[in-house]
Structure 1
Amino acid sequence: MITRKIVEKYLFSKIYTPKILKELYKKFNLRKKDEKSKLRQILNELMSEGKIFRDSRGRFRTVKENLVVGNIEFTRSGTLAFVWTEAGDEIAVPVEKAGNAMHKDKVVVEIIGKWYELPEGRVLRVLERGLNKIVGTFQPRGRFAYIIPDDPKIQYDFYVPVEYFGHAKPGEKVVAQILRYPSATRNPVARVVEVLGFADDPSTDFPTVVVKHDLPVEFPETVLKEAAKIPEKVTPSDLKERKDFRDEIIVTIDGPDARDFDDAVSVKKLSNGNYELGVHIADVSYYVKENSELDKEAFKRGTSVYLIDRVLPMLPFKLSHGVCSLVQGEDRLVMSLIMEIDKNGEVVDFEVTPGVIRSYRRLIYDDVNALFKGDKIAQEKIGELRNFLELMRELKDILRNARRKRGAILDIEGGEVKIVLDEKGRTVDIIPRARGEAEIIIEEFMIKANETIAEIFHHMDIPFVYRVHEQPDPDTILQLKNYLSAIGVNLKLPKKIQPKILQDLLERTEGHPLRSSIERLLVRSMKRAVYSPVNIGHFGLASFAYTHFTSPIRRYPDLVVHRLLRNFLKSKGKFSKKEIKVLNKKLTKIAVQSSKRERVADEAEWDYIALKKIDYISRHIGDVFDVVVTSVTKFGLFVEIIDKYISGLVHISTMDDYYIYDQDRSVLIGSKSGKIYKIGDKLKAKVVNADKTRMQIDFEIVEE
């Protein structure tokens, strides 16, 4: 009988030359239907794992040293793409070497050189198309039309024959099925399958983002059937081998719009002067078993996606808003981490145990912050918990000071806003969102919990999923330095950058008019945090080891960490070599998928916020706002409306003089007037255009 081991041994041997399927049947002497079917199954498995691929002549080729298989993702600029392999490796592909590949395709890439610190590749073949639908603007041209994709990462316009117009009108936003993919000589072809309406209709925003990012909305029937079998309440049999915390004061603290509650906290002062911090996390892994339909769907989604007024959950509502959610007054199963913390913010002892809690109170950030400020209404609502909350604040200060001393970056607010929508989905207002002490309490408690769990596995040298954050590239930090220099802030850079230097910068620029721009540029100058089975630490948090343990309702890696914890407790940290090998392979795949899905979710959330900002500003065409110049380029000024975080462009062609760009000083200089525009200038600017399709806002300077 043909086996995978036999097939792999032959395909990867020195004597193998690329063969078509019939030649492989002959080689292995396969005559029976079931034997041939088994070989096809093995070949398909090897192709899906990226170990072999089928070339344009149908021959099976092995992926050797200079060849890799991965998914290609184009940048918004359209000049570059990156290919991500299943092992998490990254290859840069200049667009002229991408062949006919499109965004999200699975491709074979030949390594041909270096692109800065990354290998540079050339696409040899598209193995599998990643997109089957696009969303874009319908533009007729007589007997045919084009669809211009909303996503700038898609490099092609799609040809639409007249029979596939589907009642779309000029300028309407549509969803289209891809019928033919691009070739060297022909544009791709698509058919309109759904007309969303005109871009200025806010009801088109949600489907636009869903299709653009291929977000799963409905759960498969198999998943819902499995979820339906889970009890709605905790039963006595669920409490076996669990520590009972139901008589303790344990609370959740979240925003007013929170719908799922996966973390609850408690704090006590011990007789020795230390603090006992309890972090109780919903025990989702008790209900979502490995390889179940629920688990497969959660792996596929990777994370919940939050889009202002709605959520696309990782798990069905039966779990995320039901039996897993730590709602007030209900018994709930948890994985509890109890830490003893000294006055220096160090964990001197801890216990991890499955538990059961009954949340004493659902607290809201705004109420806790108001209580700390002496608000009378807040005193009436939650005053009984004042001493409890003050103890939390005391411990928060200790933990935060300890992180400050070790050089963690603490003060990035990120220019977050609360977007207020009406019942039709139109943006009514945009309000800056500032973190209060309550938000920081929860943040500090969760960071300490995540670090404690990660260090257990690191010290035991057991396979694990870490949250890692690499040091920033010197080139990007140099760009940050140049930007700061242009606004009069000097940043001294040692050879090896430390997070403490960036934290000092944030403290020095507190209250600066360009503070939000500095924060965003600082974030962009750092690499993206990702999931990895290899611990390299977390640069931004200055953490030796870090993970995500605290949100298993909405993040798949947290769910996996809970399973690893359960296995650790059961086995007392002892795993066989075979178990470790299997775990390492599995966790690499989980880390890559989770990082990818997190990136998709982030981009979807950013796009949705951007659409709602454009919706807001489109009803202020002609209005004048106070803006600050955030960037100067040869084609104009990028400006931002103060306190709204709405950015747009003042094009050089609309300005009152012929302006020359001085790259060294990053300024525009009027050739006749000598007027200088620089980063940080505060101006009056009028909104002249807001385009949802191009995701662009245009301003003109208004003379005082």
Structure 2
Amino acid sequence: MNRARPRGVLNMTSAGYAFVQTAEGEFFIPASKVHDAFDGDVVEVSRLSSSERGSYAQAGPDRPAARVVRVVLRAHESIVGRYEVAEPFGIVVPEDPRIKHDIFTLRADAPHVQHGDIVRVRMTVYPNRREPAQGVVEEVLGHVGDAGMDVELIVARHKLETKFSPKVLEDVAHAAVGEAEALSSGDYRDIRNRVVFTIDPADAKDFDDALSFDKVGGYLRLGVHIADVSHYVPWNSPTDLEARRRSTSVYLVDRVVPMLPEVLSNDVCSLRPREPRRAMTVDLYLTETFSVHHVDAYPSIIESCARLDYDTVQECFDRVAGGERPAAVSMLQDVCKDPESVLVRLLGLKRVSVGLHERRLKRGGLDFDGVEAKVRLDDEGRPVGVDIRKTTQATSLVEEAMIAANEAVARLLRDGAIPSIYRVHEPPATGDLSALIPILQEFGYDSDVSMSRFAAGDPFAIQKVIAKAKGRLEEPLVSTLVVRAMTQARYVDACEPHFGLGSEAYTHFTSPIRRYPDLVVHRMLKVKLFGRTETTSAEEAALATIAAHASEMERKAETAARESQELKLFELLEEHIGEEFDGLVSGVTASGFFVRLDDTSEGFVSLRRAQEYFILDPERYTLTGSDSGVVYRLGARVRIRVRDVYPFERKADFDLVARLSSATLPKYKG
């Protein structure tokens, strides 16, 4: 009997090669072995023979090279692309660079479609050895160059739902806070006398979490107040079914594709200042050493006194640290009635966040200082600059409070034996971490960190690597490589550890406006507080399915958001063709290396035209000149000239100008 071949979803890269995660592990598929499969297809794979494997840097002991034997299930019924007239055909070139097959249509079937139109084509024949991909134009979405069309393509490709059905809009049309009704029910506590405020990015549109801080009975009381979305979205209502399907809001470069209608997300559920709102409150009573003594969770009526943003809060902290407390108070006068009271609580929250963070690190939690590039657009959707967002005391304040609340709710549900959805994160695979050791040795990290403990996934060894990288030129690279070696957090219907946070119980409770699992957790918390309802059994039966779907939709949303940012990054880079910048070598292949600029955009430097042959060391990720001995390695600083940029493909070609021992040019800021 022939052994069944491994199966899994094909994850294509824009470079043409792919990966397939199967029950037998992950396989690397060279570009020449993908054959007629599309990104997202369920495929059957077969390992390559030893003579076929070659020297693939992406393959390894834990990621053997393989070929696609056949497509088991197609992922794409329709594809979005650019229409090109080639009588008697209309050829649709897929907008997604991961789909390498053009689709042939007949001009006679759609004579109204113009050259350059962006269309949606329904597949009728998938490519095979005998014939090309074929389809029928179903819809004209727009024309290349139309304002906003570039992001519309991303929306269309990922099949994001941008409109709510009339039934859903009717369902929420009369939603109201109803604070008097809430308080008369006896289930809600009136805590409008407490000093509560929101802290968000300056451009935030919805506010689903608020904070408070007080000293009560010898304890530090950290209050986390989350919009009570579950009150407005009952199980199996039209709004609930739509939110369950969408599962998450999607934050694109120029818009938000919301999970819930605007009347909820931006109005009734949004914790606006000086307006009463229903909330789910979690009060954590902390000791002076920041351990949780006890937790009190309940529905509440709150009233935020101020809408603060990260930049303002951070500037307040900076002024206080510089001995300018009156100036910090003055900064808050325009946004709240009692600025001194708010400042006192901000400083208290800052102290709590530092203490919680230190406790989290002591138990093995990891601390990545992420760098996020956010492109600024003008009114026409054209990129005008890039803001690099980094971790600050203000962002850490909110993050630590949310982590603490999420853990507290997870423990309440776990210890109360209430079925729910949890956020889990498995330890990284030993092979993925081992692959980083030669790179870390290149940077000399093995002198301070036990590489064996690092490879074994010891969180404290991983912490040491992250800490050693801080402030060094290679910090973004090392941080990125370690993050990529981590497994992806996901939703499940069982309480399991979260490796990255060093937590034994963790869930998502703090963002029910934009994440469906949080909405489920709110319902389950109410079961814990008030008992089961007539829908509880049905909700429990659906938890596993909801968790799996939410994990899948989260990945789709993250991909779409990243692609939209990258698209505008490359549009901005296109304006700098011919200019020189410093960058960091972020990846190597047999034919050249990738360079990451300071705004996070990347381009490729080809060495095919070099006067010598370069030898790839796939373990140390180095390229060595056969004659000169010159070495290009990850983390090296180089000077490049921008040669070509392809925004729709999110790619750029760079020419190498010089190797650098240190940055000498002004950093590219976009």
TM-score tier, shorter chain, comes to 0.7 to 0.9
Residue 236 in structure 1 maps to residue 180 in structure 2 = yes
Q: Could you say which residue in structure 2 is the equivalent of 1:553?
A: 513
- Cα distance change, pair 336–73 in 1 and its aligned pair in 2 (3 A): farther
Letter paired with 2:318: K
Residue 225 in structure 1 maps to residue 170 in structure 2 = yes
- Cα distance change, pair 237–169 in 1 and its aligned pair in 2 (3 A): same
Residue 186 in structure 1 maps to residue 131 in structure 2 = yes
Secondary structure of 1:548's match? coil
Q: For the residues of structure 2 that align with 1:325 and 1:215, how far apart are their CA atoms?
A: 23
Give the Å deviation of 1:603.
Answer: 0.3
Q: For the residues of structure 2 that align with 1:665 and 1:399, how far apart are their CA atoms?
A: 37
Deviations 1:461-506 (A, max 9, x none): 3311000000101111112222222333324232631222222211
Q: Could you say which residue in structure 1 is the equivalent of 2:614?
A: 659
| Correspondence for 1:635 among 579, 586, 591 | 591
Give the Å deviation of 1:144.
Answer: 1.5
Q: For the residues of structure 2 that align with 1:452 and 1:663, how far apart are their CA atoms?
A: 44
Q: For the residues of structure 2 that align with 1:258 and 1:271, how far apart are their CA atoms?
A: 35
Give the Å deviation of 1:142.
Answer: 3.7
Residue 419 in structure 1 maps to residue 375 in structure 2 = yes
Q: For the residues of structure 2 that align with 1:208 and 1:466, how far apart are their CA atoms?
A: 33
Q: For the residues of structure 2 that align with 1:266 and 1:676, how far apart are their CA atoms?
A: 54
Q: For the residues of structure 1 that align with 2:266 and 2:462, how far apart are their CA atoms?
A: 39
Q: Could you say which residue in structure 1 is the equivalent of 2:395?
A: 439
Aligned 1:39-438 pairs, distance under 5 A: 72-76=9-13, 80=18, 82=20, 102-104=38-40, 130-154=75-99, 156-164=101-109, 172=116, 174-182=118-126, 184=128, 185-192=130-137, 193-194=139-140, 196-198=142-144, 203-231=148-176, 233-239=177-183, 240=185, 241-272=187-218, 274-374=219-319, 378-382=328-332, 383-384=339-340, 385-410=342-367, 412-438=368-394
Give the Å deviation of 1:220.
Answer: 1.0
Deviations 1:530-572 (A, max 9, x none): 000122210100111100000000000000000111112122x
Q: Does the 8 A contact of 1:179 with 1:190 survive in 2?
A: yes
Stretch moving more, 370-379 or 261-270: 370-379
Q: Could you say which residue in structure 1 is the equivalent of 2:50?
A: none
Secondary structure of 1:229's match? coil
Give the Å deviation of 1:67.
Answer: 11
Deviations 1:181-211 (A, max 9, x none): 4164433323442253336x66222111101
Aligned 1:470-549 pairs, distance under 5 A: 470-490=426-446, 491=449, 492-494=451-453, 496-549=456-509
Secondary structure of 2:445's match? coil
Letter paired with 2:329: Q
Secondary structure of 1:266's match? strand
- Cα distance change, pair 153–441 in 1 and its aligned pair in 2 (3 A): same
Letter paired with 1:226: D
Q: For the residues of structure 2 that align with 1:695 and 1:471, how far apart are their CA atoms?
A: 32
Q: Does the 8 A contact of 1:486 with 1:666 survive in 2?
A: no
Residue 685 in structure 1 maps to residue 640 in structure 2 = yes
Give the Å deviation of 1:338.
Answer: 1.1
- Cα distance change, pair 429–122 in 1 and its aligned pair in 2 (3 A): closer
- Cα distance change, pair 654–99 in 1 and its aligned pair in 2 (3 A): closer
Q: Which has the larger radius of gyration?
A: 1
- Cα distance change, pair 402–483 in 1 and its aligned pair in 2 (3 A): same
Q: Could you say which residue in structure 2 is the equivalent of 1:625?
A: 581
Letter paired with 1:518: V
Q: Does the 8 A contact of 1:223 with 1:293 survive in 2?
A: yes
Q: For the residues of structure 1 that align with 2:352 and 2:584, how far apart are their CA atoms?
A: 38
Give the Å deviation of 1:81.
Answer: 6.1
Q: Does the 8 A contact of 1:80 with 1:92 survive in 2?
A: no
- Cα distance change, pair 451–256 in 1 and its aligned pair in 2 (3 A): same
- Cα distance change, pair 187–617 in 1 and its aligned pair in 2 (3 A): same
- Cα distance change, pair 257–116 in 1 and its aligned pair in 2 (3 A): same
Residue 606 in structure 1 maps to residue 562 in structure 2 = yes
Deviations 1:290-330 (A, max 9, x none): 00000000011010001122101100000000100000001
Q: Does the 8 A contact of 1:72 with 1:82 survive in 2?
A: yes
Q: Does the 8 A contact of 1:648 with 1:697 survive in 2?
A: yes
Q: For the residues of structure 2 that align with 1:81 and 1:658, how far apart are their CA atoms?
A: 28
Q: For the residues of structure 2 that align with 1:629 and 1:542, how far apart are their CA atoms?
A: 32
Letter paired with 1:318: V
Q: For the residues of structure 2 that align with 1:499 and 1:276, how far apart are their CA atoms?
A: 30
Q: Could you say which residue in structure 2 is the equivalent of 1:464?
A: 420
Q: TM-score, normalised by structure 2?
A: 0.85
Secondary structure of 1:409's match? coil
Stretch moving more, 627-636 or 161-170: 161-170
Secondary structure of 1:493's match? helix
Letter paired with 1:174: I
Secondary structure of 1:278's match? strand
Q: Does the 8 A contact of 1:421 with 1:427 survive in 2?
A: yes
Q: Does the 8 A contact of 2:416 with 2:528 survive in 1?
A: no
Q: For the residues of structure 2 that align with 1:219 and 1:579, how far apart are their CA atoms?
A: 26
Give the Å deviation of 1:363.
Answer: 1.0
Q: Could you say which residue in structure 2 is the equivalent of 1:30?
A: none
Q: For the residues of structure 2 that align with 1:364 and 1:428, how far apart are their CA atoms?
A: 22
Q: For the residues of structure 1 that align with 2:584 and 2:27, how far apart are their CA atoms?
A: 36
Stretch moving more, 327-336 or 432-441: 432-441
Letter paired with 1:177: V
Q: Pairwise CA RMSD of aligned residues? A: 3.3
Q: Could you say which residue in structure 2 is the equivalent of 1:670?
A: 625
Q: Does the 8 A contact of 1:344 with 1:402 survive in 2?
A: no
Q: Does the 8 A contact of 1:137 with 1:693 survive in 2?
A: no
Secondary structure of 2:311's match? helix
Secondary structure of 1:598's match? helix
Q: Could you say which residue in structure 2 is the equivalent of 1:645?
A: 600
Q: For the residues of structure 2 that align with 1:649 and 1:667, how far apart are their CA atoms?
A: 15
Q: For the residues of structure 2 that align with 1:689 and 1:97, how far apart are their CA atoms?
A: 28
Residue identity over aligned pairs, in percent, reads 33
Stretches of structure 1 that go unaligned for 5 or more consecutive residues are: 1-64
Q: For the residues of structure 2 that align with 1:164 and 1:622, how far apart are their CA atoms?
A: 44
Q: Could you say which residue in structure 1 is the equivalent of 2:665?
A: none
Q: For the residues of structure 1 that align with 2:588 and 2:37, how far apart are their CA atoms?
A: 34
Q: Does the 8 A contact of 1:178 with 1:188 survive in 2?
A: no
Q: For the residues of structure 2 that align with 1:78 and 1:247, how far apart are their CA atoms?
A: 59
Q: For the residues of structure 1 that align with 2:36 and 2:645, how far apart are their CA atoms?
A: 33
Q: For the residues of structure 2 that align with 1:662 and 1:590, how far apart are their CA atoms?
A: 44
- Cα distance change, pair 165–484 in 1 and its aligned pair in 2 (3 A): farther
Q: Could you say which residue in structure 1 is the equivalent of 2:54?
A: none
Deviations 1:635-665 (A, max 9, x none): 1121111x31111110112445443334454
Q: For the residues of structure 2 that align with 1:71 and 1:560, how far apart are their CA atoms?
A: 29
Q: TM-score, normalised by structure 1?
A: 0.81
Give the Å deviation of 1:430.
Answer: 1.5
